[in-house]
Structure 1
Amino acid sequence: MDYVGRFYLSSLLHMTFYSGFYLIYLRSIDLTDGQIGFLIGLSLVLVALLEVPTGIVADKISKKASVLLSKLLLVPGTLLLYLAHSFTGVLIATLLNSLAVAFLTGAETGWLYELLSRDGREGEYPKVYGRLRSFEMVGGFVGAVGGGFIAHSLGMRSAVLLSAPFALLSALILATVPADTARSGTSYGRHLLESLCFVRNSPEVLWLFLYANLIGLPLTAFTSFMQLYFYGVIASVMAISWISAGYTLISGISWYVDFGEKGRAVICRWSPVLIPSLTLLAGLNGYLGFLTLVLGSLFFAQAFKEWQRRFQRAIPDEKRATIGSFYSLFTATLNGGLNALAGWLYGRVGIVEGLVLLSLGFLLLGAGTALKKDI
């Protein structure tokens, strides 16, 4: 199995068996809703704050080491979550798991792109990236479904505990992959300053930051609230659970399917119009939401794979993880703002009506962009 196959296998085995009942598990150890909300918010803030510092470490020391450290940190984080009987134990586990996420962001894709580029295979990157995400989602789906059976048969704590060896196995597989070689030879502060200047002075990179969110935010406005949306169409908790599970599979398939370079380029160019048009349809008719879910996932996956190709090509190897972390921080901030705005709007006028308004706004923003020759 070549190193690309090992990336796929590692992503597939990265299973979190407690993801489907995490909040229920926290309640079972007597955490209050206020404490649970605090932990969720803290995790998001920590990942955002740690994105850039961990990206710099990956560029200066090793992207491979950063990814392996991310996987290995999940082992004590999971064990602490298993042993936790109070807020303090879960808090420490949250700190470790948030740090693990931050070390992975930007480093994994940067490492993979550098290896492909070194072998003259950078043209394969969009397809490889999409399949990496596909295997990751399949692993997430299997973990959530399998975790439910484990929790039912052996208890929730057993499902938490069984997640640890899979994180370790995922790390061991990636340990056999060749290391990246590009390193930043400057100091921490100078590397940070140079990376900031590179982004500021690169119109292409700045535009790519904005463009990724232009194609992603309309779908986020729909999928972030899709459980409430579909509950208004089919008032059944069981049906909503199956729709949520189905969405994971649809996303996994969408990332795996590849339309080729020309197909991806066309969809990427027109996605600022295609995706908000689909969310607009969902706002006009509840049952069209299913079409939006399927086609929206498919179009976004194709567009983002092409975006990834252009983004990775536009940044130097020795700054890849840091600039990738800048992008993640930028996107997380915009997504958080959009979800807050959407939640307020949906609360005022209803999800369906609010979705129509947001879709029209994104259509206006995207119409002029799609007419450009290139992103």
Structure 2
Amino acid sequence: MMVNNVNKLYLIIFFHNLIPAYVIERLFWEQRGMTVLMVVLCEIIYAVSIIIFEIPTGVFADKIGRKTLLAFGAVLSVFEFIILLFAYEFWTFALVVFLAGISSACTSGAWNALLYDSLLTDKKQESFEKIVGRMNSLDFIASLLAALSGSVLAKYVGFEFNYIVSAASMFLGMVLTLLLKEPPRNRQQRKNEKSQSAFMVYVRKSITFYKTNPKVVTIITNAMGIAAFITYLDEFWQLYLDEIGFSVLFFGLFSACISLARIPGNLLAAYLLIYFKAQSIILFILGITTVCFFMTAIFPGVIGLSMIILIFLASGVIDPVVTGFLHHHGSSEIRATIESVQSLIESIITFTVGIGFGMISSSFSILSGFLFLGVISCLFFFYFLEKGFVKN
């Protein structure tokens, strides 16, 4: 029964996010000599590595199996934390994010493709959004536990110990990944894969899918815009707290609040889709994101922190809604590839936004960087509104 895959995926995502290193990551990097601009350059390297490997890994996942790509990505994730323990130069951090980009590319298409086909085998695909929401919630619960323990460990044991614990957690996730089972393909799918084994066949089929579904393209583009903005909020909230005068001990509590804020949206996403269209949900969240970024920059302090939490609260709905929308419209033979294209769109947006964010934050302050994100989010909002999908 493929239900065993789902249970293993629950455990994998828990250990993959039980990473106490994340709560002090920016401070650890800063301690090792990494400036904000250097960190943004690493984010760009990360985005470029995803751009390079996203489509090939998606195709390989569809051709040779999703488990194989997930296992390879899990191995790379373990090495990332081992390397970071010995990282003191920019190039070592750049190597880590490059490997992280490959790992993310291996996972992005294959993870949900394996989950959806596992549910499809048991004729339970209608529960996909609900399962994704639960997995994301488990992700944030693990992050919460890691944050609460990580800040204490960082204060009393040292930053390096957090990375040792994180490497061990990633190793457990890797072992569980190796125990997954590849969902069976039906006879027609296997026939198609044998007759259309060329790499470009999968790419052309994916491009055709997006060309014939313009609404999917617009929804994904704007949702990935939100994801890109939140990437930089996720990466730099620690520097925001540091700039407004909070102690590192508060970082764990605030990180826990962020994780808790993301849970309700993930759990409610499947139910919201009963009453609202996906495009209406995304437009509403774009509006909230825009206002909150402006407020965070203009009112640093308690109001700003509240706005950050509100952004994460609203954004929790995005992943289950968009991922479900994509997979319900896609076919199994290119399921990983079309999601890789989605991740590619996000990486391009992240890359583009990151250049402006990094230059402004380095030249002025992190508050100016958040103001910049608010301006870009506002542009996405009016672009999406102009499309008029909510009226259709």
Q: Do Structure 1 and Structure 2 share a fold, with TM-score over 0.5?
A: yes
d(CA) in 2 for partners of 1:92 and 1:345?
25
Aligned partner (choices 2, 5, 8) of residue 7 of structure 2: 5
Aligned partner (choices 149, 155, 158) of residue 146 of structure 1: 149
How far the C-alpha of 1:350 sits from its partner, in A, is: 5.2
Deviations along 1:163-213, one digit per CA (max 9) or x if unpaired, are: 233222113223333313346431223333333343334434423433424
- Does residue 256 (structure 1) correspond to residue 252 (structure 2)? The answer is no
* Percent of aligned pairs with the same amino acid: 19
Compute the TM-score of the two structures, normalised by the length of structure 1.
Answer: 0.80
Maintained 8 Å contact 1:81/1:89: yes
Q: Residue 372 of structure 1 aligns with which residue?
A: 390
Unpaired runs of 5+ residues, structure 2, are none
Q: Residue 45 of structure 2 aligns with which residue?
A: 42
d(CA) in 2 for partners of 1:228 and 1:35?
14
Unpaired runs of 5+ residues, structure 1, are none
How far the C-alpha of 1:158 sits from its partner, in A, is: 3.2
d(CA) in 1 for partners of 2:355 and 2:264?
29
RMSD over equivalenced CA pairs, Å? 3.9
How far the C-alpha of 1:368 sits from its partner, in A, is: 4.4
Q: 1:294 to 1:57 in 2, by over 3 A?
A: same
Maintained 8 Å contact 2:283/2:384: yes
Q: Residue 206 of structure 1 aligns with which residue?
A: 217
d(CA) in 2 for partners of 1:158 and 1:353?
35
Q: Map residues 99-248 of structure 1 onto 2, 5 A cutoff.
A: 99-182=102-185, 184-185=193-194, 186-213=197-224, 216=227, 236=246, 241=251, 242-248=253-259
Q: 1:180 to 1:259 in 2, by over 3 A?
A: closer
Larger relative contact order (Cα-Cα within 8 Å, sequence gap ≥ 6): 2
Maintained 8 Å contact 1:231/1:240: no
Maintained 8 Å contact 2:292/2:310: no
Amino acid at match of 2:207: L
Amino acid at match of 1:250: A
Q: Residue 280 of structure 1 aligns with which residue?
A: 291
Q: 1:263 to 1:53 in 2, by over 3 A?
A: same
The 3-state SS of whatever aligns with 1:137 is: helix
The 3-state SS of whatever aligns with 2:350 is: helix
Maintained 8 Å contact 2:222/2:282: no
Q: 1:255 to 1:63 in 2, by over 3 A?
A: same
d(CA) in 2 for partners of 1:85 and 1:226?
23
Q: 1:361 to 1:240 in 2, by over 3 A?
A: farther
d(CA) in 2 for partners of 1:296 and 1:58?
33
Aligned residues: 372
Higher alpha-carbon deviation: 13-22 or 312-321:
13-22
How far the C-alpha of 1:270 sits from its partner, in A, is: 4.2
Higher alpha-carbon deviation: 10-19 or 172-181:
172-181
Q: 1:89 to 1:296 in 2, by over 3 A?
A: closer
Deviations along 1:128-160, one digit per CA (max 9) or x if unpaired, are: 111212212222332344334444454433332
Aligned partner (choices 320, 323, 331) of residue 335 of structure 2: 320
Maintained 8 Å contact 1:18/1:156: yes
d(CA) in 1 for partners of 2:28 and 2:232?
28
Maintained 8 Å contact 2:6/2:118: no
Q: Map residues 10-25 of structure 1 onto 2, 5 A cutoff.
A: 10-14=12-16, 15-25=18-28
Q: Residue 271 of structure 1 aligns with which residue?
A: 282
The 3-state SS of whatever aligns with 1:147 is: helix
d(CA) in 2 for partners of 1:46 and 1:319?
21
Compute the TM-score of the two structures, normalised by the length of structure 2.
Answer: 0.77
Deviations along 1:248-267, one digit per CA (max 9) or x if unpaired, are: 32113432345615456357
